[in-house]
Structure 1
């Protein structure tokens, strides 16, 4: 199955792989997928987390296999004829997710992905209505960080920066995960950046910029922008493209802070005008880039 990412940049589109766990349908951004292989029983790892089935080694790379049914508290009915390993790469990790079947790949707009409410936003980043059924786009970063917390934001990196002066430069953040948004805000506050404007996706961030622009306050209201890539309604690449093609905003530095930073996604970020791109766990690197744009 072809899992190549879209060639276009800034179109606010993505490809979603639809798969099945139990009788439910879920989705994952194709940009996170390395390959899809028929399921094979992995080698168990002693004392591993209950959601970890074990490890296997395709193409000379050791990969951890996560049982997605256990993560989602769904009965695990293994069927060797349909079960698959969806091998992913994000946050600089290679991880396989054991699913019960692969349905297909759909090309859709981020505008068609609904933002989940507070009752399910701990497991989902978006909801898609497709052919009269609902597909839940899972928060795979959170699934992995719940299993292995050290894979999340490297908050300890902030402590290594030492004593820092307070800085009131306004920083606009577009991040759809409430947990990550709060963590980023706390980390920036520890680093001295206390004037943070939080928005839940690219569309909310763009509307906030339009509000500042209409009130003739854009130059004083935002000194730097930090944006995720994967967000419902408007993704980070499209948001970046809108800012960088606006004559009144294009000077604002934009940092893409995402789990999806790889060679292909870096090219897409460069093509829409991103000033810097950092892999999401590296919060210390994010602060260093902020210092470069704001303090120098």
Structure 2
């Protein structure tokens, strides 16, 4: 087995068991924050930065890392805290989210911990919709806050949410409103991006925050005596979510006798060969890296067209 294959196997066992590794870091004071290790490409001392005019105020500058010019975001400033004070001890966490390589300036990196997603919970009620948290967890008597990095990135690199002309066929527009898509994502920004895209396609939507919510919702449909295929066109789910991740959600659906025919698209900021392998392992129908409105719309349109073709054959 090659070294890369070995790493993929280890990661498959970890996430397949509803587990994740969290890199802990500090922005100021004793509060610990976390980021999924799978999204971290490199950790390094803060390199020399070049200032750019007319850039977002949370961007400290750009740096050349491994031949690539990367924006370095002051993560403290980005989530509403005071700017991180300049120091030779500051660290940059180089990540890949939504097909974008991004550097985050932090005060210091602590350690990596291994958690079950069941131990990770949505932010407490009353946190407010403008917060930058997707989840929290307890570790060694302290509270770890997991930052909604997709929200931060959307403010630095806004995405085009409009669907190009011609992606949605006129025949689909006529019937799309009769279909219902369930969207699952713990990031409110990412979830709303998907919902706005689907609304442009014309389908009805239900947005949920994690796999546990989604499974309960789907089970409630079949427990009421309805056929899931008549009620839900497809499930579009993130992978990293508190309570239950997208891989475990997919596994639970495939093992349920009344849900196992549901079409599942895993839609995630984690990209690469690893996720394509996991799609096959857990039994999802498809995988799409975030976020490109036309690609997502085409997946939904294709699903509608496939059903129309099936009905015509019948």
* Structural mapping, 1:1-296, within 5 Å: 6-8=11-13, 9-23=15-29, 24-72=31-79, 73-81=81-89, 83-116=90-123, 117=125, 119-121=127-129, 122-150=131-159, 154-157=160-163, 161=167, 163=170, 164-167=173-176, 168-194=178-204, 196-217=205-226, 218-296=228-306
| TM-score, normalising length: structure 2 | 0.85
Shift in Å at residue 10 of structure 1? 2.6
Equivalent position SS for 2:225: coil
CA contact (8 A) 1:161 1:191 kept: no
Equivalent position SS for 2:243: coil
Shift in Å at residue 124 of structure 1? 0.6
Equivalent position SS for 2:278: helix
- Take 1:197 and 1:286, find their aligned partners in 2: how far apart are those partners? 16
Equivalent position SS for 1:219: helix
Equivalent pairs counted in the alignment come to: 289
- Take 1:66 and 1:22, find their aligned partners in 2: how far apart are those partners? 15
Name stretches of at least 5 consecutive residues in structure 1 with no aligned partner: none
| TM-score, normalising length: structure 1 | 0.90
- Take 2:298 and 2:114, find their aligned partners in 1: how far apart are those partners? 36
Shift in Å at residue 222 of structure 1? 2.0
1:135 to 1:269, Cα distance in 2 relative to 1, 3 A? same
1:198 to 1:98, Cα distance in 2 relative to 1, 3 A? same
The alignment yields a C-alpha RMSD, in angstroms, of 2.1
- Take 1:261 and 1:246, find their aligned partners in 2: how far apart are those partners? 28
Shift in Å at residue 85 of structure 1? 0.8
- Take 2:278 and 2:174, find their aligned partners in 1: how far apart are those partners? 35
Equivalent position SS for 2:152: helix
Equivalent position SS for 2:174: coil
Shift in Å at residue 93 of structure 1? 0.6
CA contact (8 A) 1:37 1:86 kept: yes
- Take 1:261 and 1:120, find their aligned partners in 2: how far apart are those partners? 30
Equivalent position SS for 1:180: helix
**CA deviation vs aligned residue, 1:121-158 (integer Å, no higher than 9, x gap):** 530110111111111100111111112323xxx32225
1:182 to 1:61, Cα distance in 2 relative to 1, 3 A? closer
CA contact (8 A) 1:227 1:256 kept: yes
Name stretches of at least 5 consecutive residues in structure 2 with no aligned partner: 1-6, 307-314
- Take 2:83 and 2:192, find their aligned partners in 1: how far apart are those partners? 33
- Take 1:75 and 1:90, find their aligned partners in 2: how far apart are those partners? 22
